[in-house]
Amino acid sequence: MPRLAEGPTAILLIRCPDQHGLVARTAQFVAERNGNVVHADHHIDRATGLFLMRMEWELEGFDVERSGIAAAFTPLAGAIGATWRLHFSDVVRRVAVWVTKQDHCLGDLILRRRNGELRCEIPLVLSNHEVLGDLCRRFDIPFVHVPVARGSDAHEAVQLALLRENAIDTVVLAKYMQILSPRFLAQFDEVINIHHSFLPAFAGANPYVQAFERGVKIIGATAHYVTDQLDAGPIIEQDTVRISHRDSVDDLIRKGKDLERVVLARAVRAHCEDRVLVHGNRTSVFD
Q: Which residues are catalytic?
A: 231
**Does 225 sit near its own copies (CB under 8 A)?**
no
**Does 103 sit near its own copies (CB under 8 A)?**
yes
Applying the rule CB under 8 A, the residues between 250 and 269 that interact with its own copies are: 250-251, 254, 257-258, 262, 265
**Does 91 sit near its own copies (CB under 8 A)?**
no
Stretch that binds its own copies, among 9-17, 158-166, 167-175, 236-244 (CB under 8 A): 236-244
Instruction: Give the long-range contacts of residues 19-23, CB within 8 A, separation 24 or more.
Output: 19/51, 19/80, 22/51, 22/53, 22/80
CB burial of residue 194 (10 Å; 0-12, 13-18, 19+): buried
**Does 100 sit near its own copies (CB under 8 A)?**
no
Q: Least distance in Å: CB of 146 to its own copies?
A: 22
Contact 39, 55 (CB under 8 A): yes
**Does 78 sit near its own copies (CB under 8 A)?**
no
Among 73, 98, 208, 212, binds its own copies (CB under 8 A): 212
Helix (H, G, I), strand (E, B) or coil at 60: coil
Contact 166, 94 (CB under 8 A): yes
Residue 200, preceding peptide bond in cis (omega within 30° of 0): yes
What are the Cα distances from residue 4, in Å, to 7, 36, 39, 90, 170?
Answer: 9, 10, 9, 15, 26
**What would the x/- binding string for its own copies be over residues 4 to 43, using CB under 8 A?**
x-------------x-xx-xxx-xx-xxx-xxxx--xxxx
Stretch that binds its own copies, among 45-53, 119-127, 155-163, 168-176 (CB under 8 A): 45-53
Applying the rule CB under 8 A, the residues between 125 and 184 that interact with its own copies are: 138-139
Among 8, 17, 200, 204, binds its own copies (CB under 8 A): 200
Q: At what angle do helices 249-272 and 207-214 cross, to 10 degrees?
A: 130
Stretch that binds its own copies, among 80-88, 104-112, 170-178, 181-189 (CB under 8 A): 104-112
